Amino acid sequence: MPSRSPLYDPSVATAFFESAGKRESIPAGTKFFVENEKKGGRFFHRDKIYLLVDGEVNLVAGHETLSTLTGGQIFGEMTAISQLPRTATAVAQRDCTVIGLDDKQFRAGLAKHPGFALMLMSIMIGRLRETIGRLRVANALQGSDALEQSAAFEPKRLAELIAKLSDDPPVYFDRRKPIVQEGQAGTRMYIVLEGTVAVFLGGKVVERLGPGGVFGELALVEQQPRLASVNAETDCSLQPVNRAAFIALVESSPEFAASLLTKLAERLRNLTSRLR
């Protein structure tokens, strides 16, 4: 929830949504989207991310109400960012006023208000922390179904970014060596240049990253301890990115911000699926 994010500012969220979309009046009982609905579904709101300006919306998965949203909160970001099927059904409990943005409008908004990307990352990281906590309680971090993540950046774009990132030189890790540890303070994020790394939660591999993959960005957004451990699965070369360079890139490159949001959504969806 936005209220759980230390970076969330409703006025910034409103400015972001109003810069790219318009307010709509939605009657009670309307379904904004439906669980497992894919991109381009039959409902008129389909793939949008929403700001609930006024009213009340329930998010329902199966027959369970996950949460009730009130004015100032954001919903629907998972599919809008990742283009994957909806994980819940959103229903207006009262007459609502919302602003919905499709993918094109969302990216246009990022170009005008890049700082919103950090707020949205913070919201999603809060959900990640909650999900990981629930997985630990349920002992559901077991298994070998690790997410094989697609590259966040293509080779050409990666080379361009590295030239702008920071003065930090690449770092090298031998096979099986630890790179970061869960609970550590995070001062760098990393982009994989060569080789493969494995991301661990509770001693289990939950994700593998190859060239173009990113990790460690979560600790830079909220400046809180690292959520996971990462080891070198092969000999690898990494490009470190300090927080100042990271913030500058998010605020200057909507493409960079959108790529990170997409990968964050994929991680959250993968972990959430283990709760079912």
For the sheet containing 96-101, what is the strand order? 23-26, 96-101, 49-54, 73-75
pLDDT at 245: 84
**Per-residue pLDDT tens digits for 247-262:** 888 887 777 788 888 8
Which residue do the tokens 């982009």 mark?
191
The tokens for 81 are 């960012």
Mean pLDDT lowest among 131-135, 188-192, 217-221: 131-135
Q: How far apart are CA 207 and CA 219, in angstroms?
A: 17
Q: Which domains does the chain show, CATH number per domain? A: 2-113 (2.60.120.10), 134-273 (2.60.120.10)
Beta carbons within 8 Å of 156's beta carbon, 6+ residues apart: none
Residues in the chain: 276
Judge contact between 89 and 232, C-beta under 8 A.
no
CA atoms 215, 217, 223, 227: torsion sign: negative
Distance between CA atoms of 149 and 146, rounded to whole angstroms?
9
**CA distances (Å), origin 56, targets 1, 69, 93, 101, 209:** 14, 6, 5, 19, 39
pLDDT bracket for residue 22 (50, 70, 90): very high
Report pLDDT digits (tens) over 117-171.
888 888 887 777 777 777 777 666 665 555 555 556 665 666 666 666 667 888 9
Which residues are CB-neighbours of 159 under 8 A, at least 6 positions away? Answer: none
Tell me what pLDDT residue 1 has: 45
